[in-house]
Each structure stands twice: as C-alpha cells, then as structure tokens.
C-alpha cells in the first residue's frame, strides 16, 4: 500500500527517543526489524518495532547521530510504549534511553500530508499489539531480510517466504468529501473494510482479503 521509501519523514511532530552508550547501536540492531549497525552517522532508516509474536508495537524512524548515539522517532504519544518495549530485553547492556515527548499532535495540514503519502499511523491504521507487519505495507522499506535475529522475526520471515496474504491490509482510497472515520468500504455491494483516516477526498482504510483495487 504505502508509497513511501526508506528515507520518508513523517509530517509533523514526533516523540523522540535518544539511545546512547557503548552498546546503543548493537542493542537497537538486535531489537528492530531494520539494519541499524550499518547506518552511517547522519543517516536515517525506517523500521518496525515488533512484539516477540511478530505483531507491531510501532513504526519508527531511526537516525544515527554519532558512533554511540541514535534517535528513534515515533508518532506523538507512543514514545513511552516504545521505550517500555525496547527496555524489556535490556539485560547487562550499556544503553540508556531518554524520551522527549512531542509538544502537540499533528495539525490538519500535516495529517492530510500523512494520509496522501500513505503513511499508516499508530492508533489509526496500526493497532499496537494486533497489526501484523505484512498488513502495514511497510515491510519493503522497514524490514531487513538479511540482518539476523530480532524479536518477531520468525512470523515476518515466514509470511514473506511463503508469499502469505495477510488477513487485512491498509490501502489508500479516494472517497466522497464528508466521509468519516469508521465508514464502511464497500465493493460490489459487500462491506470489505473500514475507513481509518480521512482528509477531504483522501483516505486510508483497513480492508480484508475480499477487497480488490
């Protein structure tokens, strides 16, 4: 679904998580779906933070700002949950996490840009702890299939290798102005999904396998 590339920056404010220390890069590499060990200073990639069962905790950006310092950016109000997930497996690891919360939510212009760009937001398109990585449309830009082990890898790799179709996926739609979040998506007279975000005639929706483009 998503038309974004690996350098995409989500419009508007973000919660920022600073990760520092001698083990910062190694530890984040072990916890994220993306390869961050090979990041050059100043470079940024998209990644998924997954639960051990393969369901999505968050979609994030990761910037390496120094040899032992990275910044993880995430949708406003979700930084605390991401820190809690990343700290879950930090045992005898020299990596410190500092959260700076966004001062506001996205405004209407930023939200419209997000929707037009096709970026799935936490709490709208991505339901933390429920949504599968394959449902997000981000695996091509946010997952490394060569980096090695990380929590949730087994399900991501299995679905990719088998070409499995997820039970739901996120799509971009053009809708009638006035369409509201929660409105049904109808194809051939059948309800096949639900609008999750809308800005004018642009919308994102979560649809089932019965949906056809």
Reported as a single tens digit per residue, the pLDDT across 32-54 is 999 999 999 999 999 999 999 99
- pLDDT for the residue numbered 1: 60
- pLDDT for the residue numbered 4: 84
Within-domain flag for 10: no
Q: Give CA separation, 106 vs 17, 112, 114, in Å.
A: 18, 9, 9
CA nearest 167: which of 210, 125, 208?
Answer: 208
- Which residues are CB-neighbours of 163 under 8 A, at least 6 positions away? none
CA nearest 82: which of 48, 119, 38?
Answer: 48
Residues 53 and 155 in one domain: yes
Domain count, the chain: 2
Q: Which residues of the chain have pLDDT under 70?
A: 1-2, 213
Residues 156 and 177 in one domain: no
- Dihedral angle of Cα 43, 77, 87, 58, to the nearest 10 degrees: -60
Residues 191 and 130 in one domain: no
Within-domain flag for 37: yes
The domain that contains 151 carries what CATH number?
3.30.1360.120
Q: What is the CA radius of gyration of the chain?
A: 17
Residue ranges making up the domain that contains 45:
15-162
Q: Measured between alpha carbons, how far is 163 from 39 in angstroms, rounded to an integer?
A: 29
Within-domain flag for 4: no
Residues 35 and 118 in one domain: yes
- Dihedral angle of Cα 77, 81, 83, 87, to the nearest 10 degrees: 170
pTM for this one?
A: 0.94
């Amino acid at each position: 679904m998503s038309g974004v590339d690996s350098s995409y920056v989500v419009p508007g404010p973000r919660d920022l998580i600073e990760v520092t220390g001698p083990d910062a890069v190694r530890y984040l590499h072990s916890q994220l779906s993306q390869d961050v060990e090979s990041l050059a200073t100043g470079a940024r990639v998209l990644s998924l933070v997954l639960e051990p069962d393969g369901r999505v905790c968050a979609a994030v950006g990761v910037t390496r700002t120094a040899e032992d310092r990275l910044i993880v950016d995430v949708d406003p109000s979700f930084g605390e949950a991401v820190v809690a997930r990343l700290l879950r497996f930090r045992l005898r690891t020299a990596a410190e996490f500092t959260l700076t919360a966004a001062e506001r939510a996205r405004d209407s212009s930023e939200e419209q840009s997000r929707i037009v760009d096709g970026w799935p937001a936490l709490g709208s398109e991505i339901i933390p702890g429920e949504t599968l990585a394959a449902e997000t449309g981000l695996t091509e830009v946010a997952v490394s299939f060569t980096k090695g082990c990380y929590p949730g890898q087994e399900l991501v790799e299995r679905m990719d290798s088998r070409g499995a179709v997820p039970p739901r996926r996120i799509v971009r739609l053009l809708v009638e102005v006035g369409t509201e979040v929660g409105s049904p998506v109808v194809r051939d007279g059948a309800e096949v999904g639900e609008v999750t975000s809308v800005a004018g005639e642009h919308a994102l929706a979560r649809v089932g396998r019965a949906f056809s483009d």
